[in-house]
């Protein structure tokens, strides 16, 4: 059950409260001979994704149409026929744009039913990937809006994506997400509703997809996994509209990473395989290396050492083919050493501590952005502890805590807590001191 952001957006447009809508629906029901007793709590449930019974969806349309002085359909309020063209993953591109922008608006307004929504599993989680892989394609994405979209508009979106990605790496997703979403609402939404040819439209959808992916990364980093998943699904739909298979594969890599975090290891393997299979030659060496490395981690968690080692070899081979300057902007996160730290995690799960330590040390020796360095140091500290090298682990943990200062990231805080707990279990003076330093970093409020 996903939040009904369309209903939320149209209620905001109509200026009607939850209690007000309930009262008007009750009144409209009485005119039809219905004895309805809805309160604001019922509206809150509808916004969370529950479908009203019987004639109530039609009554909601009637109430809102009278308030807005225009026709309001079931699709407009997110209550179209289940399985019909109003469902989240099918239907026209224009309908998708309205659903996507409604989510951005609800997120910017900090709607609790959107921020707290859980990630979906099963078919709803898999369907967006399946639809990206399979026909039909978007034959024509042109649109006849009032404002003509120009090349400079698209360049602005690209520049914004690069800016917010750097901000995320330095400050974390919690501080960055609201800024990205504000930009999507103020700048990207009007452009998607503007006028453009098919060629310009494909560039526009690609540039917007890159920005939406950053919003998803920031939501993931904020522990808002349902919201992150919805942004990733949106970015995947935008990638399909753009016709850029490489962008779609990049978005699926983000879904693979989230699946690993949620311990959906078989899903992670399947998603990575879908990206590698479908994008084919459009996947760059950097993205291929990351996808294979994440597959290796998933197989390691599943206890399949043969498949994990096979994927490690393929990740290392792909990493050796990376040519800086020949990669798209989105794969810039695959910096030297990233595959090493991913492989180290897989080898740690397999129990090969010596090889894991070698890869983790190589990752730390390579330059990385601030956020990536914290994760690399955390992995090396964890492996040193597993190998019984408490003093080395403590020294590495001190570097990690110092590097993490000032970053507003729930994922980094999780890593800090995990390392601290491991250090405390050692019981030595050096590890206790390092754990205390990590505690100080954790006391800084997000």
Summarize pLDDT for 380-410 with one digit per residue, the tens.
999 999 999 999 999 999 999 998 888 889 9
Residue 407 inside a domain? The answer is no
Tell me phi and psi for residue 327, to 5 degrees. -110, 150
| pLDDT reported for residue 86 | 36
- Which segment of 37-41, 322-326, 383-387, 427-431 scores lowest on mean pLDDT? 427-431
Residue whose token pair is 């730390």: 364
CB 187 within 8 A of CB 160: yes
The answer to whether 8 and 43 have CB atoms below 8 angstroms apart is no
Task: Select from 205, 248, 251 the least CA-distant residue to 231.
Answer: 251
Residue that is written with structure tokens 């307004």 in the block: 109
Q: Is the predicted pLDDT of residue 137 greater than 90, yes or no? A: yes
Concatenated DSSP letters of 42-96: HHHHHHHTPPPPTTHHHHHHHHHHHHHTS---TTTTT-S-TTSTTSTTSS-HHHH
Confidence of residue 326 (pLDDT cuts 50, 70, 90): very high
348 with 356: CB under 8 angstroms?
yes
Q: Which residue has the tokens 């120009």?
A: 150
pTM exceeds cut of 0.95: no
**Packing angle of the helix pair 410-426, 173-183 (nearest 10 deg):** 170
H-state helical runs in 225-352:
225-242, 245-261, 265-279, 285-301, 305-319, 338-350
In a domain, 13, yes or no: yes
- Of residues 204 and 408, more confidently modeled: 204
Q: Are 377 and 400 in contact (CB under 8 A)?
A: yes
Question: pLDDT of 356-365, one tens digit each?
Answer: 999 999 999 9
Q: To 10 degrees, the CA torsion angle through 48, 234, 57, 21? A: 60
Rounded percentage of the chain residues whose pLDDT exceeds 90: 77
CA-angle at 117, arms to 73 and 18, nearest 5°: 50
How much of the chain is helix, strand and coil, in % rounded to 5? Answer: 70, 0, 25
Residue 53 lies in a domain: yes
Of 164-168, 296-300, 350-354, 366-370, the poorest mean pLDDT is in: 366-370
Angle 259-409-154 (CA atoms, 0-180°, nearest 5)?
A: 80
For residues 261-282, average pLDDT: 96
Give the three-class secondary structure for 143.
strand
Residue 77 structural domain: 5-87
Report the candidate in 436, 323, 341 with the shortest Cα–Cα distance to residue 380: 341
pLDDT-based confidence at 370, cuts 50/70/90?
confident
Total domains in the fold of the chain: 1
Please state the rounded mean pLDDT for residues 343-371: 95
Cβ atoms 322, 289 nearer than 8 A: yes
Q: In this structure, what token pair is assigned to residue 193?
A: 């509703």
Place of tokens 């890159």: 210
- The answer as to whether 237 is a domain residue is no
Q: pLDDT tens digit string along 79-127?
A: 886 544 334 433 489 889 988 999 999 999 998 889 899 999 999 999 9
Between CA 315 and CA 296 the distance in angstroms is 9
Asked, for residue 208, whether it belongs to a domain, the answer is: no
Res 426 pLDDT > 90? no
308 in a domain, yes or no?
no
User: Cα separation of 383 and 377, whole Å?
Assistant: 10
Establish if 131 belongs to a structural domain.
Answer: no
75 part of a folded domain:
yes
- Coil, strand or helix: which one is 131? helix
**C-alpha count within 13 angstroms, C-beta hemisphere, residue 24:** 20
DSSP reduced 3-state for 2:
coil
Sole residue written with tokens 């529950």: 50
Name the one residue in this structure whose structure tokens are 């996808």: 291
């Amino acid at each position: 059950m996903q939040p009904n952001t369309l209903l939320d957006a149209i209620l905001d447009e109509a200026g009607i409260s939850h209690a007000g809508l309930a009262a008007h629906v009750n009144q409209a029901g009485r005119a039809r001979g219905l004895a309805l007793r809805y309160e604001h709590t019922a509206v809150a449930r509808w916004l969370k994704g529950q479908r009203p019974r019987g004639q109530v969806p039609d009554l909601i349309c009637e109430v809102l149409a009278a308030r807005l002085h225009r026709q309001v359909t079931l699709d407009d309020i997110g209550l179209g026929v289940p399985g019909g063209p109003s469902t989240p993953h099918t239907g026209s591109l224009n309908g998708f744009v309205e659903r996507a922008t409604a989510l951005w608006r609800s997120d910017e307004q900090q709607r609790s039913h959107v921020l707290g929504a859980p990630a979906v599993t099963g078919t709803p989680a898999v369907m967006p990937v399946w639809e990206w892989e399979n026909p039909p394609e978007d034959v024509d994405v042109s649109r006849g809006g009032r404002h003509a979209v120009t090349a400079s508009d698209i360049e602005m979106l690209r520049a914004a994506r690069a800016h917010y990605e750097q901000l995320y790496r330095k400050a974390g997703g919690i501080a960055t997400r609201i800024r990205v979403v504000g930009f999507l609402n103020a700048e990207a939404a009007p452009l998607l509703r503007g006028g453009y040819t098919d060629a310009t439209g494909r560039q526009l959808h690609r540039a917007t997809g890159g920005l939406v992916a950053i919003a998803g990364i920031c939501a993931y980093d904020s522990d808002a996994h349902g919201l992150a998943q919805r942004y990733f699904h949106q970015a995947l739909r935008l990638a399909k509209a753009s016709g850029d298979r490489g962008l779609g594969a990049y978005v699926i890599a983000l879904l693979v990473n989230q699946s690993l975090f949620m311990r959906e290891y078989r899903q992670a393997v399947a998603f990575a395989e879908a990206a590698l299979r479908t994008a084919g030659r459009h996947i760059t060496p950097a993205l291929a290396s990351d996808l294979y490395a994440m597959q290796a981690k998933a197989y390691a968690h599943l206890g399949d050492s043969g498949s994990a080692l096979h994927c490690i070899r393929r990740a290392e081979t792909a990493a050796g083919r990376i040519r800086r300057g020949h990669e798209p902007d989105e794969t810039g996160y695959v910096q030297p050493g990233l595959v090493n730290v991913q492989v180290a995690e897989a080898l740690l799960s397999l129990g090969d501590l010596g090889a894991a330590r070698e890869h983790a040390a190589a990752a730390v020796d390579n330059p990385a952005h601030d956020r990536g360095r914290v994760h690399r140091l955390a992995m090396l500290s964890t492996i040193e502890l597993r190998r019984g090298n408490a003093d080395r682990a403590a020294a590495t943990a001190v570097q990690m805590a110092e590097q993490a200062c000032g970053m507003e990231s729930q994922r980094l805080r999780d890593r800090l807590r995990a390392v601290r707990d491991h250090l405390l279990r050692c019981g030595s003076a050096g590890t206790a001191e390092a754990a205390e330093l990590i505690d100080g970093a954790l006391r800084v409020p997000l």
